[in-house]
Structure 1
Amino acid sequence: MARGVYVTGIGRGDGRQVVELGVMELLSRRIGRVGVFRPLAHDGPDPIYDLLRSRYRLSQPPGTVMGLGYDEAAAVLADKGTDELVSLLVDRFHTVARGYEAVLVLGTDFADTGLPAELALNARLANEFGTPVLPVVAGAGQDEDSLTAEVRNAHHAYASLGCEVIAMIANRVPDAFAHRAARTLGGQLPVPVYALPEEPALAAPTVSQVAEALGAEVLQSDPDGLARDVRGFVFGGATLPTFLPALTEGCLVLTPGDRADLVVGALAAHSAGSPAIAAVLLTTDRRPGEETMALAARLSPGTPVLAVSEGSFPTAARLTTLEGRLTTATPRKAEIALGLFENEVDTARLSERLSVARGDRVTPMMFEHELIERARSDRRHIVLPEGAEERVLRAAEVLLRRGVCDLTLLGREGEVRRRTADLGIDLGLLGHDELPEGPGAWARVVDPETSPLRERFAELYAKLRAHKGVTYELAWDLVSDVTYFGTLMVQEGLADGMVSGAAHSTAATLRPAFEIIRTRPDAAIVSSVFFMCLAEKVLVYGDCAVNPDPDAEQLADIAVQSATTAAQFGVEPRIALLSYSTGTSGSGADVDKVRRATELVREHRPDLLAEGPIQYDAAVEPSVAATKLPDSSVAGRATVLVFPDLNTGNNTYKAVQRSAGAVAVGPVLQGLRKPVNDLSRGALVPDIVTTVAITAVQAQQSRREPGAPPSPPPGGPEERPGGTSGADGTSGTSGTAVRR
């Protein structure tokens, strides 16, 4: 029988969608098949279920999610009684439960349900479903004493009705006493108690939600502008000198449509970054003239300008009760909610109390979650050279909210800050000399052109490249390049790793790493792997991005490095060195290269399981392996697949990615002294988040290794991909990084 958890409440306004999202995150980390069941639902769309389905790629048929509508439930209750209603809902729950390893049950919402004794109904359903309960109590508007009493009463209510209460959560608690209340309650109740502070970014509606609620006409905007949070209201009625100082960060400016001076002034203030407003809302059914709107479009083209027919005060009255919602259209709010949940809840302890055994399968979602958790466990500092790139900024907000790592964003400070304002992103950016406050993850913006580090880096680079004729003057110019500056930060220990490539070529990202960081003493070359996340397992592909045509020695090195990387990320390494021939069935230079590489792996690392030459199907399919290599300990169960050349590897990973629907994470570089990783220029925000998390985990490993290799001596030989270096610093075998 599937087990799960019943998330419920005691009244309206508890904002439990944050908890439902957080619990789904915990369940999806441990098992591959999670179902969702809402016993009773209102008519129309279900925003939180739609968000869960989209975010967690749920394959559950939507028609099985809902038990009954509230009107139908009320009719059953009136005609046949509570037992019949419960019996119907239990049958529908078990229909879902039979197909899943665990079920997340979304309790009733206490909002216009028309049901008597709603708390008791939730308790009985949880008991009949065989699921523990996780009650959520609203903390908004309460003082510490009343909140403490309400949490204790809620626990007593569910426990006295026979429920297994696994924890209590108070949500939207005033920040002033949230942590103190959790500690107090933790000493009074027999279950863990967590308090989630009020998060303004979750309560704030987006500009799009404001427009929808008011039926406003959008005169000017772009998708990023509509996604901004509205954190307050400013009424425009005074003169411009009085109006401008009243503007606040993220405010919605309400002004009659004939006040062109205030419209232009608000947009000019936003464009200057002082402050960044959310939008302008024009009231009284007036519209600025064409010339004013044309000027508005030039001043701040992405800032929304909306219009309604009502006056300012009636419009404001309609907005006072409007709050933000977690929906598929607000992915940023979902990340904020998860960050809040993970920062305030002991997720490891709660996962244990959920009593859901970790499954044998490893799904793409589970692999990605594990990366995030490992990165969070020992926070590292990563530098992102493309600091003004939209996808990088959005990824940075996710990374900070979830406490994955600390960040340095490189770029012109004014440009980065303006870009975050336009996107409605809050990174809490520190300047170069500012120190972070508190234990949370932080981000700093640094401009390589004006940074005091530029002189130090120029001197260092000139020494490192003196054998190539690089002077201090040349180095001074070169180190202002963001990828060189970021690489030097990593080399000097000012950052633990670097991720770039969203707006730069692979060569531009990797060249500084080869020149400055260089290869590890135990690695012959720099190579790469992709983690290929299939439906039920994760495979490691190497090398699909760096070395065009490795010889036998280099191929063996790639195999060993790939096995080490696989083990580092929880994949048990069983190496298949691939060829068009299996075993002794073929011959020729290409097969002989793979055969020799396999011999070298076995010779130098007898502790590793390695097979080759072997064809792909014999490597991964047990039935084929039983015919072609029945006595092999690798055939049919290989996890690390090493391709003979870049042409084969790059095409294969892309074919599997597109045809099998695999999630390809990478390329992850291996062999460098310190972690640097490259992004595809088509990388999406989740790709960037995952790559940064991988880099942070690599940095953790580098820090743990005893006697980490020191920086190479200035003027020493230069390692390059695809070959070892000669005494004069030239490469013995040519090689180039593939451009993706």
Structure 2
Amino acid sequence: MVNGLYIASAAPGAGKSLVVLGIVDALHRHVGRLGVFRPLIDGSENRRDPVLSLLRRRYQLGARQCRGGFPLTAAVTGLVPGDQGELLTAALGIYGRMSRACDAIVVDGSDLRGPDPGREFELNCLLASNLGLPVVAVVGGAGLSPRQTGQAVTAAVRQFGAARCSLLGIVANRVRPEDESQVEAEMGVSAAGVLSYVIPEVPGISTPTVADVASSLHLRSMWGSNEWDRDIRQLRVGGMNADDFLVTLASGDLVVVPGDRTDVILACVASALSPDLPSPAGIILTDGLRPAPNVVKLLERAPFPVFTGKADLYSTAKRVSTVRSEIHTGESRKLAAALGIWSRKVDEAELLEQLALPRPTAVTPLRFFNDLIERARHHKRHVVLAEGEELRIVRAAEILRRRDVCDLTLLGKAATINQLAAVHGVDLGGVHIIDPAAAPDRERFAREYCRLRTHKGMILERAREIMLDPAYFGTMMVHLGMADGMVSGAAHTTANTIRPALEFIKGHDPHDVISSVFFMLFPDRVLVYGDCAVVPDPTAGQLAQIAVASADTAARFGVQPRIAMLSYSTGQSGAGTSVEKVRQATELVKAARPDLPVEGPIQYDAAVDAGVASAKLPSSVVAGKATVLVFPDLNTGNNTYKAVEHSAGAVAVGPILQGLRKPINDLSRGSSVEDIINTVAITAIQAQR
């Protein structure tokens, strides 16, 4: 059992960064203090290593947790065995200092892209052996047959063995999807007794993006969109006239054209702004030529990035054609694709069993969010997003699909949604789109709604109109079992989202209270606030139901429930109608759920501050340690969560509705793409019950 491992490439171009990202992501969810050490960094001493920069930023690693070693130069790889002592001693020193600040360390070897890959490989083996770490080796299968990949695995096992490295696992990466089963069979023989995994080539990872090209060619961004995270479908050289060029142009093409070819440049802009024509991923203007001022004004509004370069058309096109896809230049889309395929193809539990990992004591916001994603995709559910024509929803849908979190349906006009995706470089492959106005199920939905609301005087003609509303249409999909949950509210009010659910989803019992909670994420813990969004002035009985439901929600998401029934008075120190309501609600919770620790009435400071609690309620098992805080009314709850969010720097996730038979959740109209992803993941987890 070990608390660190060395990830090493067996050959250039193996795609090791994907494996590093996957292992770091898995360990980050399972240990308290994770470290990443890259002993041979890419670049010079004056330039940050891009892989370390990505990991440091994404996983919020401090200076003592994320370290680089020595720039990978010809002088370093050319060291003869007798001259390597100083390098090894320094690496051991860095690792030793990191081990005092970390519970587990991932050591990321170099990528074997230097002038002497063979010597570089030997140096990585020497580092792994001297650090005393087992190796996860990465073998590239791109361009190889299954048999050739098996031979490469056999060679890697032999080479690491000869270097006296302990081989923990081996990953065959970038394998052709159609060859997966054959490669698995080959590895069963060539890597017998070693953990082995096969990861197929994924276009979302291997396809270069505009960001890859801009970084590799050091291009200058001049006009248009600042969205560089766009896959490049194909390189398109604008050397012909505009009429012929438009015939060949497709959405996602990167256009390389001289800066004085006004006809082709304008054709690209016009095409991108037309709903039925393709939108380029970007334009590179060559030869150092600047378009005319009137053309520049149009380029400033282009929905794609526009770059300039001094090289000629041929040289630029040639360099673009050789650009590699790099995970570290990608943003959420490429990372989502990498983590999605990792989770599908690698048995994390099997791999982590080999490591001695102390469980983390603090639940940070990042760890909470990552855990949501993993739990959601463990038992995939189907979630419908009612606002499919909203850009934030479209972007979130792509990330959710790439990370394989759940099955998705977007509601809206297909042409509008697809055009929105094309203009902004979003890939919605695998996401279902339904237009409520044209859906074959609309009539069936209207009849079902009319049946459910007959007692309210509903008629079929009106029901047909109501089913044009995406929130009603999506909720009916959930009601009839065509989806497991729905999310809305990014562009509509909370009432618009909740009303359909209150009308015909309702609770398991007619007397159930529909309420909500917010997850309040602090740097070292998660608190649950309820109710902050639905019930204006609950009775004592309703307040007790809200408390029990909030505790159950907390437990479902890994928060041990300790309920504080909040009031302006603690214990017996005060009186009044509101205090008595809270006191009565507390007794009802105790009677209904004796398994739940509950305290009330109690003030907020006594609920969460151990020092205050020791003075006011020294014998309480909840005071000072409360995790579920139940507010006496909506006015108090709503204002408190917003005050804490904006003043204390907490991250508020919600509102999450509770008490419904099936999950329907609301978004804030100010929700970010990340907020939407998290809410969808929560909805999918709720649907797993």
Q: TM-score, normalized by length of structure 1?
A: 0.86
The CA deviation at 1:202 is: 2.2
Distance 1:73 1:667 in 2: 57
The CA deviation at 1:55 is: 1.2
Distance 1:350 1:160, change over 3 A: same
The CA deviation at 1:268 is: 4.4
The CA deviation at 1:496 is: 0.8
Aligned partner (choices 187, 198, 206) of residue 201 of structure 2:
198
Distance 1:631 1:91, change over 3 A: same
Amino acid at match of 2:9: G
The CA deviation at 1:285 is: 4.9
Amino acid at match of 2:19: V
Q: Higher mean Cα deviation, 69-78 or 231-240?
A: 69-78
Q: Is the 8 A contact 1:252 1:279 kept in 2?
A: yes
* Aligned twin of 1:8: 8
* Aligned twin of 2:144: 142
Q: Is the 8 A contact 1:255 1:282 kept in 2?
A: yes
* Aligned twin of 1:366: 367
Q: What whole-Å deviation, never above 9, does each CA across 1:248-295 have from its counterpart, x for those lacking one? A: 442223344454444444444443445443223344555555566667
Amino acid at match of 1:350: L
* Aligned twin of 2:48: 45
Aligned residues: 684
Amino acid at match of 1:139: G
The CA deviation at 1:673 is: 1.6
Amino acid at match of 1:154: A
Q: Higher mean Cα deviation, 397-406 or 235-244?
A: 235-244
Q: Is the 8 A contact 1:200 1:231 kept in 2?
A: no
Query: For 1:325-336, what aligned pairs fall within 5 Å after superposition?
Result: 325-327=326-328, 330-336=331-337
Q: Is the 8 A contact 2:268 2:279 kept in 1?
A: no
Query: For 1:195-594, what aligned pairs fall within 5 Å after superposition?
Result: 195-216=198-219, 218=221, 220-224=223-227, 226-238=228-240, 242-270=244-272, 271-286=274-289, 289=292, 301-327=302-328, 330-428=331-429, 442-521=430-509, 524-594=512-582
The CA deviation at 1:495 is: 0.9
Q: Higher mean Cα deviation, 378-387 or 214-223?
A: 214-223
Distance 2:391 2:365 in 1: 25
Residue 354 of structure 2: SS of its match in structure 1? Answer: helix
Residue 177 of structure 1: SS of its match in structure 2? Answer: helix
Distance 2:420 2:139 in 1: 38
The CA deviation at 1:482 is: 1.2
* Aligned twin of 1:180: 182
Amino acid at match of 1:143: S
Q: Higher mean Cα deviation, 161-170 or 245-254?
A: 245-254
The CA deviation at 1:115 is: 8.6
* Aligned twin of 1:726: none
Distance 2:148 2:413 in 1: 49
Q: Higher mean Cα deviation, 458-467 or 106-115?
A: 106-115
Aligned partner (choices 667, 673, 677) of residue 655 of structure 2:
667
* Aligned twin of 2:86: 84
Q: What whole-Å deviation, never above 9, does each CA across 1:433-490 have from its counterpart, x for those lacking one? A: xxxxxxxxx3211111111222222222233333333332222222211111111111
The CA deviation at 1:561 is: 0.7
Q: What whole-Å deviation, never above 9, does each CA across 1:324-379 have from its counterpart, x for those lacking one? A: 22236623211121112222222222222334243333332222222222211221
Distance 2:80 2:322 in 1: 33
Q: Higher mean Cα deviation, 618-627 or 85-94?
A: 618-627
The CA deviation at 1:542 is: 1.1
Does 2:61 correspond to 1:58? Answer: yes
Q: What whole-Å deviation, never above 9, does each CA across 1:179-232 have from its counterpart, x for those lacking one? A: 4213430344212222222223323333244345445555542123x3322221
Q: Is the 8 A contact 1:549 1:646 kept in 2?
A: yes
The CA deviation at 1:554 is: 1.0
Distance 2:161 2:583 in 1: 66
Q: What whole-Å deviation, never above 9, does each CA across 1:545-575 have from its counterpart, x for those lacking one? A: 2222212111101011111112222222221
Distance 1:556 1:328 in 2: 51
Query: For 1:588-737, what aligned pairs fall within 5 Å after superposition?
Result: 588-701=576-689
Amino acid at match of 1:23: I
Distance 1:73 1:525, change over 3 A: farther
Q: Is the 8 A contact 1:2 1:98 kept in 2?
A: no
Q: Higher mean Cα deviation, 593-602 or 458-467?
A: 458-467
The CA deviation at 1:396 is: 0.8
Residue 700 of structure 1: SS of its match in structure 2? Answer: coil
Amino acid at match of 1:587: A
* Aligned twin of 2:36: 36
Q: What whole-Å deviation, never above 9, does each CA across 1:136-155 have from its counterpart, x for those lacking one? A: 12222322222211112212
Q: What whole-Å deviation, never above 9, does each CA across 1:569-590 have from its counterpart, x for those lacking one? A: 2222221212222221222222
Distance 1:209 1:569 in 2: 38
Q: What whole-Å deviation, never above 9, does each CA across 1:3-30 have from its counterpart, x for those lacking one? A: 2221111232222111111111101111
Q: Which runs of 5+ in 1 are unaligned?
A: 429-441, 702-740
The CA deviation at 1:242 is: 4.5
Q: Is the 8 A contact 2:110 2:124 kept in 1?
A: yes
Distance 1:157 1:669, change over 3 A: same
Distance 2:556 2:77 in 1: 57
Distance 2:133 2:389 in 1: 47
Q: What whole-Å deviation, never above 9, does each CA across 1:503-548 have from its counterpart, x for those lacking one? A: 1111111112112212330753111111223333322221122222
Residue 418 of structure 1: SS of its match in structure 2? Answer: helix
**Identity of paired residues, percent?**
47
Distance 1:22 1:79 in 2: 33
Distance 1:115 1:406 in 2: 43
Q: What whole-Å deviation, never above 9, does each CA across 1:68-95 have from its counterpart, x for those lacking one? A: 3345973995797222321121011111
Amino acid at match of 1:444: H
Q: TM-score, normalized by length of structure 2?
A: 0.92
Residue 667 of structure 1: SS of its match in structure 2? Answer: strand
* Aligned twin of 1:118: 120
Distance 2:491 2:369 in 1: 23
Q: Higher mean Cα deviation, 633-642 or 73-82?
A: 73-82
* Aligned twin of 2:27: 27
Q: What whole-Å deviation, never above 9, does each CA across 1:48-69 have from its counterpart, x for those lacking one? A: 211111111222358x612233
Distance 1:548 1:111, change over 3 A: same
Instruction: Provide the alpha-carbon RMSD of the alignment.
Output: 2.7
Aligned partner (choices 155, 159, 162) of residue 161 of structure 2:
159
Distance 2:392 2:405 in 1: 17
Amino acid at match of 1:449: A
Distance 1:522 1:96 in 2: 57
Amino acid at match of 1:472: L
* Aligned twin of 2:111: 109
Amino acid at match of 2:157: H
Q: Is the 8 A contact 2:517 2:657 kept in 1?
A: yes
Distance 1:617 1:401, change over 3 A: same
* Aligned twin of 1:437: none
Q: What whole-Å deviation, never above 9, does each CA across 1:578-627 have from its counterpart, x for those lacking one? A: 22222212222221111100011111222222111122233233443333
The CA deviation at 1:499 is: 0.6
The CA deviation at 1:2 is: 8.2
